[in-house]
Amino acid sequence: MALMLRHGLSSIRKLTQRLAGPVGIPKTAGLPAPLAHESRRWSWSRRTEYQYFGNRRPALSLSNPNALRVLAGLGGGGLVVYVVAQQEVPYTERRHAILISQAAERELGRQTYRQVLEEARAEGSLVPSHHPATKRVQRVGSQIAAAVNRGQGGGFQDHMQGLEWQFAVIDSPQVNAFVVPGGKVVVYTGLLGLVSSDDELAAVLAHECAHVLARHAAERMTQGGVVSVIQMIAYWGFGIPLPSDLLVPAFFLPNSRKAETEADIIGIQVGGLVGR
């Protein structure tokens, strides 16, 4: 099964490159984007500069001896929190900081999944649960989910306890699939039309389920919070605006690619457990 999944993963790799970010949430109108860093707080007040919460002078200055003490305190406290929040990713042994609670992570997934299905149902594009396409995805997905839930691979897996996996199919030409926290997976018929076997479909679903196991969504939200804190300190402390348009590509894109590669690695390992 592992060899077949590797072959399936290789043959559909070009298809999954279009997934949007570490959790692959498509840019659906009206869909909340809690996994993307918020940039709407920035506004133009002049042609040559950004303003953050209006015109304010920096509260700190490097010429002020108290400024260094404040920065040292913030930096030291932040470092302690970052270290304490470290978790190990199963199978890869990579360590990352997670500052999002498991309850909040699951609630976010439930809300996002519910909204996606409601929009699809309103548009008449939600494929019924009794349809062969949905049954196929649920059958293959259940096998992958069972393998993920076996607890192998070491690392932090507390968030997998009591996870309720759900799989849905949306009728759309998009060649896409995505997962949200809590084990909610959506597959588009455009992708199903291009996977010629259950092994290829299993490779796609194993990749998506791997994102949940690795808590990539929670990691991305944590990173977004860190960037926001850096922006606030830079502006309020020193009057230095750090636009999100500059920070997000530099900070998130490399991590996004890393998450996709990690999901591939974990997906292959998980796929090898199916049928054992």
Catalytic positions, written as ranges: 208
User: Roughly what angle, to the nearest 10 degrees, separates helices 216-232 and 102-123?
Assistant: 110
Strands 177-180 and 184-188 turn out to be antiparallel
What does each C-alpha distance from 43 to 51, 54, 71, 227 come to in angstroms?
Answer: 6, 9, 26, 17
Identify whether the C-beta of residue 120 lies closer than 8 Å to the C-beta of residue 196: no
Neighbouring CB atoms inside 10 A of 29's CB total 5
Assign 3-state DSSP to the chain and report helix, strand, coil percentages, each to 5: 55, 10, 35
* 66 contacts: CB under 8 Å, gap ≥ 6: 60
Residue type, 118: E
Determine the Cα–Cα distance for residues 95 and 243; give it in Å rounded to an integer.
28
Determine the Cα–Cα distance for residues 142 and 144; give it in Å rounded to an integer.
5
Q: Which two tokens mark 218? A: 């929670």
